[in-house]
Structure 1
Amino acid sequence: MLHLHHSLRTALRRTARAGAALIAAAFVLASAGAIYEAAGNWIDARRFPQQGRSIQIGSLRLNLDCSGRGGITVILDSGMGGPALDWILVQPEVAKFTRVCSYDRAGYGWSDASPEPRTSRQIAGELKSLLDAAGEKGPFVMVGHSFGGYNVRVFAGRYPRDVAGMVLVDASHPDEGSRTDAVLSGAQLARQQQDERRDETWEQITEPLTIHLGIRRATVALGRKPSRHLSRRLQEEFLYLENMPKFMRTVRQEDAMFKISGVQAVAAGPLGERPLIVLTAGKPYEPDPLLTPQQIERQANIWIRELQVEEMRLSTRGEQIVVPDSTHDMPQDRPDAIVSAIHGVWTSVR
């Protein structure tokens, strides 16, 4: 019995030592990660200065980046998770024929995060205040990519005199989820929803730690696919902006309000006779591995031939242009198609 007690105490001591060693190792790794993150932020903040200028609207400072000259100004609104930098391949080309402004919505890039709900109505109001404070005069040609499509539609509904025309770039549709999910079986839909809930819960739990310890910086850097459209420096700048703690919080907040924003876009009503070009991506973005090729094709047809056509019909002067070699990331895949569409609408209203 004494031998057993001695052995147990020895085992406990060994376990304690091993545990202490693991804790020490974890502390060293955590410290190294925190130093890596702090150093990365310090370097990036100096490598990537603000593009644009900060404008005070109420308690917020929002970043507005305008260039070019012209009678009618073009306003660019990015998709969910997209800073003003999303338009880096589009804006310089538009600036060759007119004035054009991109901006960081609250919570992205060089703009402050906002305590207000991230609905399209709130965002449209902030954009209006930003343009007024900056002295930018309408009417504008509004351009919205993805979720930005909701925002510019709501903007047009709230401030009709400020909108001369519109370009929707593979823009979100309020019924996209229900209509494309209709091709899934019950089991597939349940699995998809389960995966989404698990991923969301895991992100909320781990995000503060992964950012502080530099884990997110490392995984995003390693996981980002090389782009044939963007230079290495631009890709690193995107990484810097996406690694800001406010970035993922804002993405989640916009996503949580996505359905409400869709309802607000519908309530904004049609555009009447104002010119509209709807650009539609012809290539699947990230096909769901749970789906069969037939289901993927059916979803693509619903998107291209139904949902996007319905958006074209928002205007009596609406036109749809399918861009066959572009994914949803059209601002990087085919910026020339966007520039051409903007020029077409701008020419018809100037």
Structure 2
Amino acid sequence: MNAADVVRTEGSHVTTLGGRQVHLEVAPGLGEDLGTPIMLVPGCAVPSYAFRPVRTAMPGRWFVAIDRPGMVETPWPGRLPTLAEEVATLLELCEALGQPPVVVAHSMAGPHVEALVRQHPGSVSGLVLLDASIELDAKPAPAALDRAWLAASRLALEGSRLPPFALAASLSTRVAVWSQSHRLPIDYDRPPGTDDLFRRPDTLASVVAEQAAYADQLADLQTLLETTTWPGTPSVVLTAGSRAAWVRKQRVLAHRVGGRQVVVERSRHLMMLDRPDVVAEAVLGLLPEDERGTTPA
């Protein structure tokens, strides 16, 4: 299937977007009129299925969630991802949808989507940023550090083939989710397949590579901020309210994208798990008025 067919076909798919293999999880809604697509873009080390509580809170909508290369069923490309690559992949997904989606971007995906909107005005109809990454004075990493991180990614790829390494990595993700969620205890029930996912060599290598790419991607976005203006895309910035300094930093982001900031109580970083109701409310507010109150028929 081509990408335009994939994004309208329910289920789990691997396709090529922006020259890279990605995984999509699609819920095409009800009936022939799918309504406005809602594109879900998770942060680093967060799989697409983390957004399922948001989908449950908005039944009958057309959702397309993306996993970047290396996560779920795709291979790690063997390099540190660039902001330009992320933008190219997201742009091709928007084009496959056939109409500008409302995009929900979490954490590190926030800069990716902000760059997309700045470089391609009109590609997105609305934007919800979930505790999105922001640096007020971003600078690229030294080349030597990038090389070291790439070596670390390759080490993760090879090392995770050893059972003790893979087990330790899987346990560390459980601790990370527990520490970043207000709702989930450390012994929470994982969705089927999660343990296997975070023992995959390609998953672990991609997580290290994405973390390593953070400084360069934010520096590239900083350059865009100096050469572009926000095109007026309606935006909502949802901020976990656990730290006052972070709330202030996110206020700068909201101003930058001309958006409304909402401080979300009883939520940590994994807001799609802690407060899917607030995320759904923000998305509904960005949909056309005739789509807000009812499930598409």
Which TM-score tier does this pair reach, normalised by the shorter chain?
0.7 to 0.9
For residues 213-268 of structure 1, give each alpha carbon's deviation from its aligned partner in whole angstroms, at most 9, with x where no partner exists. 3113433455525735996241x532221211112221222222212211333415
**AA partner of residue 86 (structure 1):** A
Distance 1:302 1:176 in 2: 16
For residues 57-98 of structure 1, give each alpha carbon's deviation from its aligned partner in whole angstroms, at most 9, with x where no partner exists. 47643222221253321111111112212212112333x253
TM-score (norm 2): 0.75
CA contact (8 A) 2:71 2:202 kept: yes
**Which position in structure 1 is the counterpart of 2:285?**
344
Pairwise CA distance, 1:175: 2.5
SS at match of 2:246: helix
SS at match of 1:277: strand
1:71 aligns with 2:35: yes
**AA partner of residue 276 (structure 2):** P
1:302 aligns with 2:281: no
Report matched runs for 1:1-350 at 5 Å: 51-57=11-17, 60-67=20-27, 68=29, 70-94=34-58, 96-115=59-78, 117-132=80-95, 135-175=96-136, 207=156, 210-222=159-171, 224-225=174-175, 227-228=184-185, 232-234=189-191, 237-266=193-222, 267=224, 269-283=228-242, 300-305=243-248, 307-316=249-258, 318-347=259-288
For residues 136-176 of structure 1, give each alpha carbon's deviation from its aligned partner in whole angstroms, at most 9, with x where no partner exists. 11211111100010111111122212111100000000228
Q: Which stretch shifts more, 209-218 or 152-161?
A: 209-218
**AA partner of residue 264 (structure 2):** V
Distance 1:251 1:103, change over 3 A: same
Structure whose residues are more often helix by fraction: 1
Distance 1:56 1:106 in 2: 10
The structure having more radius of gyration, on CA atoms, is: 1
CA contact (8 A) 1:54 1:64 kept: yes
In the alignment, structure 2 segments of 5+ residues that lack a partner are 1-9, 140-148, 179-183, 292-297
Distance 2:64 2:150 in 1: 36
SS at match of 1:302: helix
**AA partner of residue 51 (structure 2):** W
**Which position in structure 2 is the counterpart of 1:295?**
none
CA contact (8 A) 1:77 1:151 kept: no
CA contact (8 A) 1:270 1:315 kept: no
Distance 2:150 2:64 in 1: 36
> Segments of 4+ in structure 1 off by > 6 A?
200-206
Distance 1:82 1:279, change over 3 A: same
Aligned residues: 261
SS at match of 2:160: helix
TM-score (norm 1): 0.65
In the alignment, structure 1 segments of 5+ residues that lack a partner are 1-49, 179-199, 284-299
